[in-house]
């Protein structure tokens, strides 16, 4: 992974495992990368989309309080090994910048807002994920008109995220979109699915808006995998 990143002149980012992992294991991975080896991996995330842990039956009961406490334990262990790493979080799914629709736990607590209140002193870059389509498990893929109309939502999402950061932490922090595409399903072959020409136009529009708003990190998901082609279709392994 590190060799490939260096060959591509790309900056690597590693997400440590939260379900099934531990602060000690996360700290050892930092040690392996940046002390035992001179990989100098700067960017680190902890867990992934914690608001979905109960939906995917990772945990029977999981809320913002538990996540924020565990995230801090991981962060402190990792920083003890290398205080220069850059921590990115919380990486919650389907952030819209609208309090009416943003992810909340079963007690109604906003995942991003509560994370920043608890860990705004340790996180370096505030990250969210967003896939606008489909809007439910039963909805079809979007039409080209729906896709065309969607890109402007980013003119509100990022400013609203920055406002929440400022309100909860009392300072400005860099922001990131560490998963983004028009569609979160495996849909392909449609007029506006992620492998379509129209999705490429949507992505160009969205990326331009994110650049204008000075988003620090943007990670398109995904380029290619065996079950869900993205930009690349290949017959064998990459």
Question: Residue 148: its pLDDT value, please?
Answer: 95
Integer Cα distance of 117 and 167 in angstroms: 9
166 domain-assigned: yes
Closest CA to 180 of 147, 145, 222, 236: 222
What is the average pLDDT value for the chain, to the nearest integer? 92
Distance of CA 223 to the CA centre of its chain: 15
Q: Does residue 230 belong to any structural domain of this protein? A: no
Neighbour tally for 149: CB within 10 Å:
12
- What is the tens place of the pLDDT at every residue in 18-52? 999 999 999 999 999 999 999 999 999 999 999 99
pLDDT of residue 222: 76
**Amino acid 59: pLDDT:** 78
φ/ψ (deg, to 5) at 206:
-65, -45
Averaged pLDDT for residues 91-96: 96
**Counting beta carbons within 10 angstroms of the beta carbon of residue 107, is it exposed (0 to 12), middle (13 to 18) or buried (19 or more)?**
exposed
pLDDT reading at 225 higher than 60: no
Q: Are 109 and 66 contacting, i.e. CB atoms less than 8 angstroms apart?
A: no
225 found inside a domain: no
Contacts 24+ apart (CB under 8 A), 68-73: 68/114, 68/115, 68/118, 68/119, 69/118, 70/18, 71/18, 71/46, 71/47, 71/115, 71/118, 71/119, 72/118, 72/119, 72/122, 73/23
Look up the pTM and report it: 0.92
Quick: pLDDT tens for 69-89: 999 999 999 999 999 999 999
Evaluate whether residue 64 is within a structural domain.
yes
Structural domain includes residue 226: no
Looking at residue 238, its pLDDT comes to 39
Give a yes or no: residue 228 inside a domain: no
* Residue 62 within a domain: yes
Which run of H or of E encompasses 62? none
Other beta carbons within 10 Å of 111: 25
- Per the structure, the count of domains in the chain is 1
- In the chain, the N- to C-terminal Cα span, in Å, equals 12
Q: What pLDDT is attached to residue 168?
A: 98
Residue 229 counted as domain residue: no
Taking the C-alpha atoms of residue 127 and residue 161, their distance in angstroms, rounded to an integer, is 9
pLDDT digits over 118-140, tens only?
999 999 999 999 999 998 878 88
What is the domain extent for residue 147? Answer: 2-220
Q: State the CATH number of the domain containing residue 117.
A: 3.20.20.80
């Amino acid at each position: 992974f590190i060799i490939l990143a260096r060959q591509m002149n790309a900056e690597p980012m590693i997400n440590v495992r939260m379900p099934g992992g531990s602060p000690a294991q996360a700290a050892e991975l930092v040690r392996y990368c940046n002390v035992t080896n001179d990989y100098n991996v700067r960017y680190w995330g902890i867990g992934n989309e914690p608001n979905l842990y109960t939906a995917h039956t990772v945990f029977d009961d999981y809320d913002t309080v538990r996540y924020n406490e565990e995230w801090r334990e991981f962060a402190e262990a990792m920083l003890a090994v290398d205080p220069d790493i850059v921590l990115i979080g919380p990486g919650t799914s389907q952030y819209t910048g609208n309090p009416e629709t943003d992810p909340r736990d079963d007690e109604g607590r906003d995942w991003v807002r509560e994370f920043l209140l608890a860990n705004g002193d340790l996180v370096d870059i505030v990250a969210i994920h967003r896939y606008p389509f489909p809007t439910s498990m039963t909805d079809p893929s979007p039409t080209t008109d729906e896709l065309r109309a969607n890109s402007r939502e980013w003119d509100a999402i990022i400013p609203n995220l920055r406002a929440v950061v400022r309100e909860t932490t009392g300072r400005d922090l860099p922001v990131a979109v560490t998963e983004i595409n028009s569609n979160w399903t495996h849909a392909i072959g449609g007029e506006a699915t992620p492998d379509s020409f129209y999705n490429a136009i949507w992505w160009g529009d969205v990326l331009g808006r994110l650049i204008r708003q000075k988003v620090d990190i943007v990670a398109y998901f995904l380029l290619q995998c065996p079950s869900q082609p993205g930009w690349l279709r290949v017959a064998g392994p990459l």
